[in-house]
Amino acid sequence: MMRDAHTPVRFRPTRRLSIGALIGILCAAMTAGAWMIVTDPQHFVIQKVRLEGTFNHVAIDTLKPRIASHLRGNFFTVDMDALRDGLHEIPWIKHIETQRLWPHTLRVTVYERDAIARWAPGGALDRDGTLFTPDPATLAADLPVIDGPLGLHTALVNKMLELQGYMRGLNAQIARLDVDARRAYRLTLRDGVQLMLGRKNMEIRLARYTRAYSRLTDEQRQHIVRVDLRYNNGFALARDNDYTPPHKG
């Protein structure tokens, strides 16, 4: 059949890969291969775990098996979040930092809690007011006790630290802080003396008593058993039965 001279001729272009496409395919293949190597647990095996921090309450022998249980994968694929979460289950641990150190080391830094009081219903309170539940045997025997409404433990820690500053003028330390349902405060000192602070102006009341205390004799001080500071312009002292008032004459 003869083609008419005016009939256009259609050319079908040959499909050829450009250099850019070839490079893209090559890069993809190399990336896939590299990813397989990087994620292969047989490569880049973690060979060393470096533990750092202070270990006053957390035993290193307790940490080792917990860390080992989370070392699934390799240097690149180990789940750091799961590792930190697992260690945070230990009550004395406040914070965990983890870091990869090339080529095969994992660094784990432990920050312990600083317990400053026992929470009477159970557990302990750290300096931030966080309630945690360690083994009671691991708590210092001379920690003060805080007892008050549930949910106020953070505020009560802050108040105890604030009130402790006034104890220097009394040469005393707080043994117990009690807060009742009406939010009235009572301090018990290490020597057994109770300070009834009430609900307001506690700092002013303590400062007033501290000034008066400095003028008392040793004989007068040692017989004090309770001080009621819930007065606007003074306070009331209760003394033990062995106290004999000085004779006026």
C-alpha triplet 181, 185, 191: angle, nearest 5°: 130
Q: Give residue for tokens 């009572």.
A: 186
Go through 131-170 and write b for each residue having 16 or more CB atoms within 10 A of its CB, e for each that does not.
Answer: bbebeeeeeeeeebebbbeeeebeebbebbeebbebbeeb
What domains does the chain contain, in order, with CATH numbers? 48-112 (3.10.20.310), 115-239 (3.40.50.11690)
Question: What are the residues whose beta carbons fall under 8 Å from the beta carbon of 33, sequence distance 6 or more?
Answer: none
Whole-angstrom distance, CA of residue 181 vs CA of residue 163: 20
**SS3 assignment, position 158:** helix
CA distances from 18 to 25, 28, 30 (A): 11, 16, 19
Whole-angstrom distance, CA of residue 65 vs CA of residue 140: 27
Instruction: Note down pLDDT in tens along the chain; length 249 residues.
Output: 444 555 554 545 545 556 665 555 555 544 544 445 444 446 668 899 999 998 999 999 999 999 999 988 888 889 999 999 999 999 999 999 999 999 889 999 999 999 999 999 999 999 999 999 999 999 999 999 999 998 898 999 999 999 999 998 899 999 999 999 999 999 999 999 999 999 999 999 999 999 999 999 888 898 999 999 999 889 999 998 876 666 555
Whole-angstrom distance, CA of residue 55 vs CA of residue 147: 29
Question: 236 φ, ψ to 5°?
Answer: -120, 135
Cα-Cα-Cα-Cα dihedral sign, residues 174, 179, 180, 185: positive
